[in-house]
Structure formats: C-alpha cells, structure tokens
Amino acid sequence: MARAIWSGSISFGLLNVPVKLYSAVSKQTVRFRELREGDGSRVKHKRVAESDGKEVPYEKIVKGYEYAPDQYVVLSRDELSELEPQRSRTIEIQDFVDLDDIDPIYFEQPYYLGPDKGAARAYALLVQAMKDSRKVAIARFVLRNKEHLAAIRPMEDVLTLTTMRFQDEVTSPGDLDGEVFEEEKPKKPEKRELEMAKQLIESLAGNFKPNSYRDEYREELLDLLERKAEGKDVVSAPTEEPKPTKAPDLMAALEESLAAVKGDEAATDGKGSKPKPKAKAKSSSRSKSSSKSKSSSSSNGRKSSSRKKTKARS
C-alpha cells in the first residue's frame, strides 16, 4: 500500500481541499556496494579533516560557502534554520495556464495528490473542474524544507503534482556561447533532404505507448548478475559505437532508411500493424554483442527464465 509522504491542502480563492502527496515513480536502479578487491570486504567512507586527516563527528560539521579560493563564509545550523521557508502545509495555486505553454524542460519530479479524510467531494469537484477547463494549475508549496514550484493537472480521476524548475535554473540555448556548434553553424538544409527527413519522421510516427520501451541496459545487467551469481562464465563481445552520418551521406542514409521502413510495411501484408524500424542506433551495438554470445534457442530460454527470477527478487 502506498504511503503518503506529505499532507496539507490545496488552496485557491476561498476553497481549501485537504490532500496527501504520494510518489508517482518507483526507480528501478540496480545498486552496488563498494568492496575491496580480493576479499570482498565492505568499504566505508568517513568524514575527515583535510588539514590533519582526523575523523570529524557529524555534530562538529558546519556549512561553508566558498566565495573565493579557500575563503569561506560559515553559517551555523541556527542561522540556516532561520532562513528555511516556513513549514506551511498549503499548496497555494497562483495561476491556471495551458499545458502547451509549459516547456517540458521545466518539469522535474512527479507525484500523485489524493484526497485526505473528509475531502473526497471537494477533491472530485476540483478534478472535474480542471478537466473541463483543460487548464494546469501553477502553485507553490514547501517540501523537505525547500520551496517548490509545481504544476497540478488531472490524470483520469486523480490529480498529479509535478515539481518544476524555476526560470533561473534553466539554461537558455543562447547562453551556451557556441558550445553546441563547436566547429561552425550548419547551413540551411536542402529542400530535398528536408522533405525526405519529414517523410521518415511521418513513416515512424505513432501514438506514445510507454510499455513499448524497456530499460535494455538494466535487463542485461540483471541477467549478467544472475549468471555470475550462478557461477557461469561470462564472455562479452566488443561493442561498436555508431558513427555519425556525414553531410555527403545524408541523402543516401535517408533513402536507405525510407526503403527499410517501406519494406517493413510490405511485410505486414496489409494487416495494418505499425511497422518498426529495422535498426536502432541506440541498441545496434547491443544486438551485435548479444547475437555473438547466444549460441542456441535453448540458451535464450534459460536467459529469459533467469531474468524473470531476478525481476521477482528485485
């Protein structure tokens, strides 16, 4: 059962809706411990002073801001606590805007907002009103002693809250000072190249289906860990990095890509299934590596079974 990590109320106008905040994501990160090579002893990190190498207790550590090389302004815990935002339990809505007006670069961490006790009716009213108006609420609230900007919008019958970056935290493309184009700014694409690129995009266009995408690296890592835990020998083939398409080869690459997609469409025999590109630059090196290491269909079956066991444990 999901546990609330914060509780408070959504406030706009004279309306207050008590809510609880729940995490909307569960990161599937494979975590490692640091061990000493040879005997596998756990490695611990200690806080030590640079001047004499002695360990420093946590309660003796203060915060220092380096305003010049090796020059610090020190703040005590009391001074920092006085500057912390007030621990308000209110999500204060400031504006309602169109979702298309928000560039995705501003979005940070997603959460769900659920109704607190006795707030189901007011919560349902807010959800339906926001659905009908097709607007996103921009709000401020305090979470873990930090003030956050957030976007609130309905998803089915639930409200979602996504923390956002403030404007001064987002780097503008104009601030990169030529770092994007290290050599020279590219010339305007030729009309024929542009048309073929658009055709390729259109041929691969479709609806976003989250379950169509997998973390292939994580799956292969879990499979590797499973095989090593079972004492199996692991032989890895060298991988090849995809090479960038050079300007003179653009048309040839576009034509070949379109031909590959049309070939896939013909292979569906008019059944209407969405064709997939024959090759993906991201996974091409992995495909080459895995094809060399898999010698038979029976080994594939063992690999699939092994992966399922690992997923169940994780």
**pLDDT tens digits for 251-272?**
788 888 888 887 776 665 545 4
Mean pLDDT of the chain: 81
pLDDT one-digit tens code per residue, 196-249? 889 888 888 889 898 998 988 889 889 988 988 988 877 766 667 777 666 557
pLDDT one-digit tens code per residue, 39-66? 999 999 999 999 999 999 998 999 999 9
Q: Cα–Cα distance between 307 and 222 in angstroms, integer?
A: 7
Amino acid at 61: I
Report the chain's terminal Cα–Cα distance, integer Å.
Answer: 17
pTM of the model: 0.67
Percent of the chain with pLDDT over 90: 45
pLDDT one-digit tens code per residue, 68-119? 999 999 998 888 888 777 667 899 999 999 999 999 999 999 999 999 999 9
- Taking residues 151-157, what's their average pLDDT? 95
Q: What's the pLDDT score for residue 282?
A: 43
Q: Has residue 275 got a pLDDT over 50?
A: no
Instruction: Let me know how long the chain is.
Output: 314
